[in-house]
Amino acid sequence: MPTTFAYAGETLHVASVLRRWRSTTKDRGDSYLARHWYEIRLDDDRTAVVYFDRKAQRRRPRWWLYTLAIADVSAP
């Protein structure tokens, strides 16, 4: 997993992985691993969900940013 991601002109630095999981897809009755998902904490305390798309068609497999949460500024 990359330690940094570029998004909207910003570099996001991964501080830790909070959880990980996999999703599958079916094709002609067989199950295939499609995506590796990661919920991560960034170095600025925001959280994000990213995934690696193994099943990429017409493009090379790559990482995608799925969600990016705003840091909780009210927390002490």
**Structural domain spans, the chain:** 4-68
CB 14, CB 24: distance < 8 Å: no
- Inform me whether the pLDDT recorded for 45 exceeds 60: yes
- Inform me whether the pLDDT recorded for 13 exceeds 80: yes
- Inform me whether the pLDDT recorded for 61 exceeds 80: no
CA atoms within 13 A on the CB side of 61: 10
Indicate the pairing of strand 47-53 with strand 30-42: antiparallel
- How far is 54 from 56, CA to CA, in rounded Å? 6
pLDDT at 35 (0 to 100): 84
Q: How confident is the model at residue 17 (pLDDT cuts 50, 70, 90)?
A: very high
Q: How confident is the model at residue 44 (pLDDT cuts 50, 70, 90)?
A: very high
Other beta carbons within 10 Å of 53: 15
